[in-house]
Amino acid sequence: MESKESPQQAADADTQTVIKCPNDNSATGDTDDSQPGSHNQAETQDEEMVKLQSILKKLKCSEFENCVQVVDDLMKKPQILHSDVLHLLTAFVDRLPEKEESKPATNPSSSWWDLMYPYKVRVHTVVTGQTFGAHETMLENLKGTWTMVEMTSLAECDIIIVFCPITSRTGSDVEAVKRQAAVFSNDKPVVVVLMYHIRDEEFSPGGRKWFEDPRCVLEVHVLFHETQRGLLQCAQNDQAVREIQGELYRCSKSRWCPL
């Protein structure tokens, strides 16, 4: 006598996707228990099928429900080809939600220059001697930062940069800078660049601080020579540029705020 499925069994069969494993012979009763490890292999396959059914059930409740049939067809094949895997991945990719392109917040009157340099600092420079163009090279290097550097007059500037070539003795040249009325006649911050005329990239000027005035917020040492196109390419000069850039950033103001 043929057994009939109960209503509950029929309902359960309709709610799950049946996946057949081509290598699973347990359903036909062909499992050969005499082969070593065959029992463990069958248990592993059963566990994998349970996990697969659980994953497919979750997929049915997601935007990937159309991929369930693709997986079902793939598992029924005796041999899986690269094209089959490609078809499966394509089905998943096609169902991925599209991401909205993020657009940077822009000011209606802003230009690309404003967006690239959102902060600016107004600088006034004082040069006390011959630099063979080295101070101009340094200014160009300072403009390489994302903060916009604008050269202005002493009255309009945010910070003063003094380029002081050492032509005789450091002490006497420093005293000449201190006597510059345009430098220390106001409360604006001052950066002093002591410039040593030398070709030795390993030259060390020492660690002495020459300016004790609180308005002198930074004192750096650089090396230059007319035979080296002005400013030497060395670690000493690179460090000086980074330190000055940091001080310029601290003095900078937002381009979106009243200056």
144 vs 142, residue with greater confidence:
142
pTM of the model: 0.52
Distance CA 219, CA 193 (A): 6
Task: Tell me what the mean pLDDT of segment 235-247 comes to.
Answer: 91
pLDDT in tens, 14-27: 444 444 444 444 44
pLDDT in tens, 32-89: 555 555 667 677 767 777 776 777 676 666 656 666 677 777 677 777 766 766 666 6
Helix (H, G, I), strand (E, B) or coil at 48: helix
What does the mean pLDDT of the chain come to?
71
CATH of domain 113-254: 3.40.50
Question: 231: pLDDT confidence band, cut at 50, 70 and 90?
Answer: confident
Domain boundaries in the chain? 11-28+36-94, 113-254
For residue 109, what pLDDT is reported? 42
For residue 66, what pLDDT is reported? 64
Q: Taking a C-beta distance cutoff of 8 angstroms, is the pair 161, 125 a contact?
A: yes
For residue 212, what pLDDT is reported? 72
Q: Give the helix/strand (H/E) hosting 125.
A: strand 119-127
Q: Where are the alpha helices (DSSP H) in the chain?
A: 7-14, 38-60, 67-76, 82-94, 112-116, 134-142, 170-178, 181-184, 235-251
Query: Exposure string (b/e) for 105-144, b if CB count within 10 Å is 16 or more?
Result: eeeeeeeeeeeebebbbbbbbbbbeebbebbebbbebbbe
Distance CA 223, CA 210 (A): 17
